[in-house]
Amino acid sequence: MLITFKSTASGELLMFEKNGKELLSILGKDPEAAHGVVTVEQLAPAIAALRTTIAADKAAQAGLPDEENEEESAVDRKVSLFQRAVPLLEMLERSLAERQPVTWGV
């Protein structure tokens, strides 16, 4: 199943349900809700929470031994949390700049 994030300030953003739910939790939203909204007033705290999580995940990735980062094929390489979160962060930032809410639905 997919979760679709939408904002009139940005294009649609599709995520696998598991990954979308993880990010909704970070934003302080109910990950089990089938749909919802991040209001304009909630955007700044949501952005701050996402930035904090991205920074922590980048730091954790930087601490991995080099052999775990170099010898993998493209198929074996895992997509990290911060790589999944950056497009949502950009959507939230654009939405805040244009004072538009972000909605999501399954």
pLDDT in tens, 44-90: 999 999 999 999 988 888 876 655 555 555 555 578 899 999 999 99
pLDDT at 17 over 80: yes
**Domain residues of the chain, as ranges?**
2-59+80-105
Is the CB of residue 88 less than 8 Å from the CB of residue 22? no
What is the per-residue pLDDT for 105? 93
Of the chain, the percentage scoring pLDDT greater than 90 comes to 74
Q: How far is CA 36 from the centre of its chain?
A: 15
Q: How far is CA 4 from the centre of its chain?
A: 12
Look at the alpha carbons of 44, 34, 104, 106 in this order and tell me if their dihedral is positive or negative. positive
The DSSP H or E segment spanning 15 is: strand 10-16
Question: Please, what is the average pLDDT of the chain?
Answer: 89
Residue pointed to by tokens 């010898």: 71
Buried/exposed code over 32-52 (b: 16+ C-beta within 10 A; e: otherwise) = eeeeeebeeebbeebbebbee
What is the per-residue pLDDT for 48? 97
Q: Find the range with the poorest average confidence among 5-9, 66-70, 79-83, 95-99.
A: 66-70
